[in-house]
Amino acid sequence: MSALDAVTLAVLKGRLEQVADEMDATLYRSAFNPIIAEARDACHGLYHAETGATLVQGTKGLPIFVGAMSFAVQAVIRRVQAGAGLEPGDTFLFNDPYEGGTHLNDFRLVRPLFREGRLFCWLASVGHWLDIGGNVPGNYNPRATESHQEGVRIPPVKLIRAGVMQQDILDILAANSRVPQSNWGDLNGQLNALDLGERRLHALLDEHGEAKLHAAFDLLADRAAALMEAEIRTLPEGAHVFEDYLDNDGVTDERLTIALDMTVADGVLTLDFSRSSGACLGPINISEATTVAACYVALKHAFPDVPANAGVLRPTRFVIPDGSLLGARAPRPVAGYTETILRLIGVILGALGRAVPARATAAPFGTINALSLSGQRGDGTRWVMFSFFGGGLGGNPESDGLHHANNPISTATIPPAEILEAAYPVMFTQWALRPDSGGPGLHRGGVGAVYEIEALSPGVTEVALLGERGRYAPFGVNGGGDAALNRFAWQTDAGWESPPMASKVVGVKISAGQRVRLESPGGGGWGDPMQRPRELIARDIRLGHVSPAAAMRDYGYAP
């Protein structure tokens, strides 16, 4: 390994991150699907030639994908070793959630980069495609009991062989979607991102040589591991426990537990999830790869100064029971994986908060509220609108929580109402902050939002929701109060109705002019509400974040 001075290492780190960032930007600008183009539900990175370990990630991509993509590249490596072969110009495609995936909508493209006939590294792209078959348009089927009811499952296959596109693979993909044109646009955006990544990386290698880049990869991983170990050593040694709950799995109306026993010992962090619930019937199971990826995201949140690569996980040990809720195997359904990883990230941050109470942060709203509306336009063409929505973040030691923010699993943005209205026959009749939804505290939780959507399609519009926090509110810490629960309702000829399972429903049908309404939770509160300065409570009332009645109830404050 060639020695690198600090300046050269910093330059190479920046250049490598720029390669991934440009790949992200290329896809965002060319994707057909608003969930990629606007919400940025995608990611790109560079991965180790032999191990598949994360070498470099972009700064704009979805963090949960970065952690999971290492397992995806490992799946491709195993496929190559099993006889698939590998040559320049190959590109693998798959969406298998049990082979380094997350759920079936997330399609991964993995491409080798060769230098003078030798494999140098892998480039990878992942993006959320709008619809890939299954029982429910958009694929968030809250009643699924096996992955076959969630959509088509593709193992790692060669979409491109030695530079030649395999038309039969494209035909299979198109035949298994309600909106094949959208998926076709997203696929081409991902391929263009990989093409650009190849060109940029070859130019960088031509300039600096393979030895310098290999040295940079090794040094960056070693530094991330050393910094992570140093952060772990700042934590008090011993066991720190935390648990939280999911409403239900959408099929059986019983709560599910995510429990963590976190142990700190001699610079090693052990995350033991053995006390968590077993695999469930419904679609909120996750694979072991997804669990590890979620832990990676949580640790990056807790220790933001540690570089983002595989070195982060070196001083970390995982105990994930095989076949459990967090280590599910095929064909357990996994469409709602986002809800489970949100709770998983929450319990890690909760355990860290108990280890160092001064750094504890109250729970964020903790659900993406995966809502899909679908139907037929007047000309008979199908449409599928899928979106996720915002809520409040938890109060923290320094400030109130943010209003109407995104969840800590991502850097994605909430798709704008104008974009969704332009793309689909719907109209947002309300998009507003939700008063009294943030948990009370010295530092109040941020408030959630109210979204009301009217169907404009001439026929029936089908509605499905896969959410959480309908029964177990985002928690407060250090004396702070819980936030409001999640609420969902839809109009019928007889009035408004709500889901029996609180946060999950499928099979709802509304007519033109009828609406659905989603009220997202806020974040939990931090600290004793009675210590909140009176002038801040008065401001909250003036801005509509807290009602006069709630101010009296929670803060003992009379306007």
- For residues 134-158, give the mean pLDDT: 95
354-397 per-position pLDDT tens digit: 999 988 999 999 999 999 999 999 888 999 999 999 999 999 99
- Reply yes or no on whether the pLDDT at 129 is more than 80: yes
Please report, rounded to a whole number, the percentage of residues in the chain having pLDDT higher than 90.
Answer: 90
Query: Are the C-beta atoms of 490 and 515 separated by less than 8 Å?
Result: yes
Residue 100: predicted pLDDT: 82
423-435 per-position pLDDT tens digit: 999 999 999 999 9
Residue 101: predicted pLDDT: 81
- Reply yes or no on whether the pLDDT at 211 is more than 50: yes
Residue 2: predicted pLDDT: 52
CB-based burial label for 270 (10 Å; 0-12, 13-18, 19+): middle
Q: How far apart are CA 318 and CA 326, in angstroms?
A: 11
16-64 per-position pLDDT tens digit: 999 999 999 999 999 999 999 998 899 999 999 999 999 998 888 777 8
CA torsion, points 61, 67, 70, 76, in degrees to nearest 10?
A: -80
Residue 411: predicted pLDDT: 67
What pTM was computed for the model? 0.94
CB-based burial label for 377 (10 Å; 0-12, 13-18, 19+): middle
454-512 per-position pLDDT tens digit: 999 999 999 999 999 999 999 999 999 999 999 999 999 999 999 999 999 999 999 99
Element (H, E) at 101: none
Residue 1: predicted pLDDT: 43
* Both tokens assigned to 225: 């591991």
Q: What is the DSSP letter of 59?
A: S
* Both tokens assigned to 171: 């035909």
- For residues 55-84, give the mean pLDDT: 88
Beta pairing class for 118-128 and 370-376: unpaired
242-289 per-position pLDDT tens digit: 999 999 999 999 999 999 999 999 999 999 999 999 999 999 999 999
- For residues 105-127, give the mean pLDDT: 97
467-482 per-position pLDDT tens digit: 999 999 999 999 999 9
DSSP letter for each residue of 38-51? TT--EEEEEEETTT
- For residues 173-178, give the mean pLDDT: 97
Is the bond preceding residue 315 a cis peptide, omega within 30 degrees?
Answer: no
Residue 106: predicted pLDDT: 96
Residue 425: predicted pLDDT: 97
